[in-house]
């Protein structure tokens, strides 16, 4: 018998894999139980309802997603490099074999009521990403423009996610990055974009793809 903590981890792993591949409503508790090998009674000891399981999956996914992106972004020095790194990181994600869009977009679509806890979890994730982007762009523009720019960058990233999933254009972050540079150039940035040589160690798409 697995320890309680390992059993919970197994249930989360199985549920996340199935929800990501097939959606939330399409995957029932019986399938999660069958594929995890954990009894239904044990599942309900850890998660009192399917909604509680989904919420726990999204909470863990949010933490892992943001930690991975933050670590990649933090490995670069200048604000311009860190901002471009956000787009490079997304392109790498899109090219993973298991890429199937965004779990949070799917959650908001399948649970559309604005006050639904699952919808709120999706909203909180996107707000956290926007907050991180604002932190990155703040050194590049006037303080009063940082919030607006962060919202525009998030909009471009969300469009890139959908484009990669629906049209199969996995390099969509490159176009989104080009648009971001145009927006920044028009917003009186504090610093100008660096001139980068082909062999530079900056997170340019052509250097890191």
Position 164 scores a pLDDT of 98
H or E stretch at 183: helix 172-185
Do 65 and 30 belong to one domain?
no
Residues 92 and 162 in one domain: yes
- Residue 86, pLDDT > 90, answer yes
CATH number at residue 122: 1.10.357.10
- 3-state DSSP helix/strand/coil percent for the chain, to nearest 5? 70, 0, 30
161-189 pLDDT, tens digit each: 999 999 999 999 999 999 999 998 887 65
* Claim to verify: residue 187 and residue 86 sit in the same structural domain: yes
User: Residue 111's domain spans which residues?
Assistant: 59-208
Q: How many residues does the chain have?
A: 209
Q: Is 156 left (phi over 0), alpha (psi -120 to 50) or beta?
A: alpha
Contact 84, 177 (CB under 8 A): yes
Q: What is the pLDDT of residues 191-204, one digit of tens each?
A: 555 533 323 344 55
Residues 87 and 181 in one domain: yes
Q: Which two tokens stand for residue 119?
A: 């919808």
Q: What is the pLDDT of residue 186?
A: 83
Q: Which residue has the higher pLDDT, 205 or 171?
A: 171
Picking from 6-15, 135-144, 198-207, which range would have the lowest pLDDT averaged per residue? Answer: 198-207
- How high does pLDDT run on average in the chain? 90
Q: What pTM was estimated for this model as a whole?
A: 0.88
Confidence bin at 143 (pLDDT 50/70/90): confident
Domain count for the chain: 2
pLDDT beyond 60 at 8: yes
Residues 105, 150, single domain; the answer is yes
Residue 74 lies in a domain: yes
64-83 pLDDT, tens digit per residue, is: 999 999 999 999 999 999 99
Q: How far apart are CA 129 and CA 133, in angstroms?
A: 6
Question: Is there a domain that residue 41 lies in?
Answer: yes
């Amino acid at each position: 018998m697995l320890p309680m903590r390992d059993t919970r981890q197994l249930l989360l792993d199985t549920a996340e894999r199935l929800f990501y591949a097939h959606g939330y409503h399409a995957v029932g508790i019986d399938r999660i139980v069958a594929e995890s090998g954990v009894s239904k009674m044990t599942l309900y000891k850890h998660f009192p309802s399917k909604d509680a399981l989904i919420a726990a999956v999204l909470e863990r996914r949010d933490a892992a997603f943001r930690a991975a992106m933050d670590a990649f972004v933090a490995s670069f020095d200048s604000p311009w490099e860190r901002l471009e790194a956000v787009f490079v990181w997304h392109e790498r994600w899109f090219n993973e074999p298991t890429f199937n869009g965004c779990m949070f977009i799917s959650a908001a679509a399948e649970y559309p009521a604005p006050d639904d806890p699952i919808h709120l979890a999706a909203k909180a994730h996107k707000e956290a990403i926007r907050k991180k982007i604002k932190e990155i762009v703040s050194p590049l523009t006037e303080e009063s423009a940082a919030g607006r720019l962060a919202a525009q960058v998030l909009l471009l990233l969300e469009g890139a996610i959908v484009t990669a999933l629906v049209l199969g254009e996995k390099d969509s972050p490159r176009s989104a990055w080009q648009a971001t540079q145009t927006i920044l150039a028009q917003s009186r940035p504090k610093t100008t974009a660096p001139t980068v040589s082909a062999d530079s160690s900056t997170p340019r798409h052509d250097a890191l793809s």
